[in-house]
Amino acid sequence: MKILMVNNFYYLRGGRERCFFDLTELLEQNGHEVIPFSMDHPRNFDSPYSDYFVSNVDFPNRLEKKNKVASAFDVVERVMYSGEAKQKMRHIIADTEPDLVHVHGFMHELSPSILTPIKDAGLPIVQTLHDFKILCPNTGFISNGEVCERCKVHRYYNVVLHRCKRGSLSASMLAGVEMYVQKAFKLHEEKIDHFIAPSQFLQNKVKAYGIKKPITNIPNFTHVDQFQPCYEPDDYFVYAGRLDKVKGIDTLLDAMDQVERSHLYIAGWGENEDALRMRIAKRKVQNITFLGHLNTDELIGLIQRAAFVIVPSELYENYSMSVIESLACGTPVIGSEIGGIPEQVIDGWNGRLFQPGNVPDLANKINFMLDHPETAVKMGINARKRVEQINNPQMHYEQTLAVYQKVLQQDFVPVI
């Protein structure tokens, strides 16, 4: 089978790109041909198809140019409907003749215009949803640091009223208009043939928001053999992630006032890092250490020796790769009971769950794990088993192939 694989970026920028490249490799290992389509970027990996990639655009820098009005029109044009992206998509389809198109990300950098030549060619489109963008103008159901679903049932004007997009009126207006344009052109109702949702939580949200297209839950996968469990942990636990309020870092630090032993290592960075360091210094807390950004090997090594990992998110997570990798290391996870996390962390079996933002509840769960080290080790063993069963490459491949076969059995007629 020949698959045209689409994503905004062609370098390891985040979790979506990791899934994009991992799936590409998995399909190629199983004898399929994968053709990438993306945006040009200095950090891109080499590709024989890079001539088809859309020209690079840096939205923040574009908006900071002197002629802000002209730059703003350029940004709007690129986000809403890129003629260049449409033409390049048409060319790559004509030259490579794929059987289907699998989209991971296309909004903004590539724009919805790429979908028109795909449907003109009579090709089915599968889209993996890595976030909540098709439902929320601000992508993550977040407004000013709080979980928000005001825009449900197409009330996208709320993103402007509350300036959800970085607190910016112009950015929020663009996000709202973009969603109304998607709705007007029935982008998801008519263009996408089948969705893949890594979490049941996202799958259910899509249905609840009235999108009628078929959607299949296929959890993310990892190569489990790349992680070596320890099961003899050292006396510390870990937070690894962005230092941002919505990730629950403030709740975690508050909970540490009720934890008098062991040691918390914080691996990550963010705009709030200096303020968080000062906060800890003022409290004269001795059992918290900021490690800053760690490379992948350093982070995995840290997690492998940890008693447990804490994921205190206060926003809807989809299906966290960081949770998968912690569990693959044989390290149990204390996670907040929100979004897709409860699908990964089974309370009392491979970790513990707590109510998001609830400081006493989190402190109790941390102290429970420290009070019961043998139970924590058993949870780590269960954690590894669950990843081997649920998040293995073969299962992911078979489930993805089943979706491909389903859409290829439908009747697609090219638009003439």
Q: Could you read off the pLDDT of 140-191 as tens digits, one per residue?
A: 999 998 999 999 989 999 999 999 998 999 889 989 988 998 888 788 778 9
Q: How many CB atoms lie within 10 A of CB 243?
A: 22
Same domain, 34 and 162: yes
Q: What DSSP string runs through 236-286?
A: -EEEES---GGGTHHHHHHHGGG--SS-EEEE---TTHHHHHHHHHHHT-S
Same domain, 37 and 49: yes
Same domain, 163 and 290: no
Identify whether 414 is part of a domain. Answer: no
Identify whether 374 is part of a domain. Answer: yes
pLDDT in tens, 45-98: 999 999 999 999 876 555 445 445 445 566 777 777 889 999 999 999 999 999
The pLDDT of residue 166 = 87
**Number of domains observed in the structure of the chain:** 2
Identify whether 379 is part of a domain. Answer: yes
Q: What is the pTM of this model?
A: 0.92
Identify whether 416 is part of a domain. Answer: no
Same domain, 357 and 214: no
The answer on pLDDT for 411 being more than 70 is no
The pLDDT of residue 72 = 57
Identify whether 415 is part of a domain. Answer: no
Dist CA 215 CA 218 (whole Å): 10
2 — pLDDT class (breaks 50, 70, 90): very high
The pLDDT of residue 67 = 47
Instruction: Read off the CATH number of the domain in which 122 is found.
Output: 3.40.50.2000
**CA distance to 117, 118, 177, 178, 190, per residue, from 184 (Å):** 19, 19, 10, 10, 11
Identify whether 413 is part of a domain. Answer: no
Same domain, 33 and 118: yes
Q: How many CB atoms lie within 10 A of CB 261?
A: 10
Same domain, 74 and 99: yes
Same domain, 365 and 382: yes
Domain range holding 295? Answer: 224-390
Same domain, 134 and 254: no
Same domain, 184 and 71: yes
Same domain, 132 and 95: yes
Dist CA 248 CA 257 (whole Å): 15
Same domain, 211 and 305: no
In terms of Cα–Cα distance, which of 371, 250, 251, 357 is closest to 308? 371
Same domain, 299 and 210: no
Identify whether 50 is part of a domain. Answer: yes
